[in-house]
Amino acid sequence: MKNAETIINDLNLTGKEMDIMKDDILNTLENLSATAQESSAATEEITASMEEETAAIEGVANMSEELTKLADNLNTIIDRFQI
């Protein structure tokens, strides 16, 4: 009879330990999920910033091309007046 009681007590103790481990695993998974969400949000912000920077660089490149065309036109006009 004592052997059965010992086994039951061991099973109860093991069950409690497993319950604690389950809670630890759930907490770890929740933390990982939160970290993944934060990383995702940060990645989205970085992507948006990169898109804005790309658009700004494209704008500068376009203005540079326009400036080059204006300089070429100015040189053409100046060449007309050179003797």
pLDDT surpasses 90 at 27: yes
Q: What is the pLDDT of residue 83?
A: 65
Determine the Cα–Cα distance for residues 50 and 21; give it in Å rounded to an integer: 43
CA triplet 26, 32, 33: central angle to 5 degrees?
90
**pTM confidence score:** 0.60
Q: What is the mean pLDDT of residues 51-59?
A: 98
Scanning 1-83, the segments in alpha helix (DSSP H) are: 2-81
